Amino acid sequence: DKANIGVTGLAVMGRNLARNLARNGQRVAVHNRHRERTDELINRFGNEGNFLATGSLRELVDTLERPRRLVIMVKAGDPTDAVIDELLPMLDTGDILVDAGNANFADTRRREAALADRGVHFVGAGVSGGEEGALHGPSIMPGGSPEAYRELEPILRSIAANVDGTPCVTHVGTDGAGHFVKMVHNGIEYADMQLIAETYDLLRRVLGLGPGEIAETFRRFNTGRLNSYLIEITAEVLGHVDSRTSLPFVDVVLDQAEQKGTGRWTVQNALELASPVTGIAEAVFARSISGQPRLREEASGLPGPSTEPVVDDPERFVDDVERALYASKIIAYAQGFDQIQAGSETYEWDIDLGAIATIWRGGCIIRAEFLDRIRAAYDQTSGRAGLLADDDFREALGEAQDSWRRVVAIATAAGVPVPGISTSLAYYDTVRAQRLPAALIQGQRDYFGAHTYRRTDLDGVFHTEWSVDRSEHEA
């Protein structure tokens, strides 16, 4: 009686994933570098299902039926390589190694290629939903070979979140595709959180609402098209009162946002792909600025606006803010999905964007009704055109844009920073413009560096003799 799947790495994520597997009828062999975590899992949760505790990777491997299915859930980076290196000599052709940690997709590509040479399937699987998701049903984004996915599919479907009968798991693409998509998911999460935070800041500083009142506003937003896990937890956090001080919790938390790196990876990769994820980039930088006390200290005496803007209709302002948030969110998601499309083309993954929207509807941090609308959009466009080509989103943006502009104007006049909302509006106005000042940039480049330009009225590439007689010739 061997186990049909194994898990090594039993910190909070691995433990909960193992419990989820066992609760769904799998016979799960478990292992952790330090034995204590294994024992704790068995002692506390051993009665939840069929676990086999093992004391070494050797024992773990020997306990698994073949082809072996083995999930690694250890600290991302070097620890993952260490575990793979130790496991590899013990594995046989056809065995499947799943890395469910938050690996960088470039590492996953490297590992997949190395293991493929040895006949072992390596599946980099993005897992989103935090510890609760791992236990009750995450959104799972597996890469790797189609053969490996066929072997894993029934098990993954049984433990994934489920929305309207559809499990939140799909084969994203080969090698690092799964971890790539998980990375962009996290980038979008950064953008979404930043937009919500700006909305809170506006309601507080422009309208003077308290955290409790803003919690109520978000609860109301959550009954409409903004309905999402992130809006829901925002209302919970804002409504929470600190027991030590009896102050709103949000007022006693140090205002320096931390980050573990996936947002930064998203932006780094977007720069490589020339994919303009301005919403995600502003969100990452906003966290960076918040976490630089010296910079903030140096700048703290700088003057703000000499007159405060007057909002004579607070209810209309709240409506405007809701529209600005929704429109900005469309832009941030459109940019993120465009990055996935760019990655898919560059790394030859053939990712189905509608399928990605589908598996993000449940389990993960950005789960929302909104993802259903994105899925519907990709159903219409066959996945190649971006979300801004979709009629419903175009209509929503058009309907929101006056509100969006009023919000950015009032925020600017009030001196309240809204980098996420304003960059989204700038993107909207940039991509819809008939003419861009990029023509002037081309002129400047040609002037100082003879970098050449193309013309609107003639084919070919041209250069102007700026320092001689300003004559033009084909380059």
What are the catalytic residues? 182, 189
Write each residue from 369 to 398 as x if it is in contact with ligand NDP (CB under 6 A), else as -, in one continuous string: ------------------------------
d(CA 210, CA 269): 39
**C-alpha dihedral (149, 155, 161, 162), degrees to nearest 10:** 90
d(CA 290, CA 97): 39
Least CB distance to ligand NDP at residue 76 (A)? 4
Least CB distance to ligand NDP at residue 182 (A)? 8
Contact 267, 257 (CB under 8 A): no
Q: Which of 46, 130, 261, 443 lies at the binding interface for ligand NDP (CB under 6 A)?
A: 130
Residue 267 binds ligand NDP (CB under 6 A): no
Nearest residue to the partner ligand NDP, using Cβ = 101
CB closer to ligand NDP, 131 vs 213: 131
Q: Which of 69, 71, 95, 101 lies at the binding interface for ligand NDP (CB under 6 A)?
A: 101
Count of residues interacting with ligand NDP (CB under 6 A): 22
Residue 473 binds ligand NDP (CB under 6 A): no
What's 301-319 look like in SS3? CCCCCCCCCCCCCHHHHHH
Least CB distance to ligand NDP at residue 391 (A)? 35
Contact 175, 143 (CB under 8 A): yes
Write each residue from 53 to 82 as x if it is in contact with ligand NDP (CB under 6 A), else as -, in one continuous string: --------------------xxxx--x--x
Residue 230 binds ligand NDP (CB under 6 A): no
Residue 123 binds ligand NDP (CB under 6 A): no
Residue 9 binds ligand NDP (CB under 6 A): yes
CB closer to ligand NDP, 37 vs 111: 37
Q: What is the DSSP string of 124-153?
A: EEEEESHHHHHHH--EEEE-S-HHHHHHHH
The stretch near ligand NDP (CB under 6 A) out of 4-12, 288-296, 312-320, 330-338 is: 4-12
Q: Which of 33, 204, 240, 405 lies at the binding interface for ligand NDP (CB under 6 A)?
A: 33
CB closer to ligand NDP, 32 vs 54: 32
Least CB distance to ligand NDP at residue 73 (A)? 5
* Axis crossing angle, helix 177-205 with helix 229-239, rounded to the nearest 10: 40
What's 390-443 look like in SS3? CHHHHHHHHHHHHHHHHHHHHHHHHCCCCHHHHHHHHHHHHHHCCCCCHHHHHH
Pairing between β-strand 96-99 and β-strand 121-128 as defined by DSSP bridges: parallel
Residue 12 binds ligand NDP (CB under 6 A): yes
Residue 153 binds ligand NDP (CB under 6 A): no
CB neighbours (10 Å) of residue 446? 18
d(CA 20, CA 161): 11
Q: Any residues with CB less than 8 A from the CB of 3 and at least 6 apart, and which? A: 26, 27, 28, 29, 52, 63, 64, 65
The contact set with ligand NDP (CB under 6 A) reads: 9-14, 32-34, 37, 73-76, 79, 82-83, 101-102, 127, 130-131
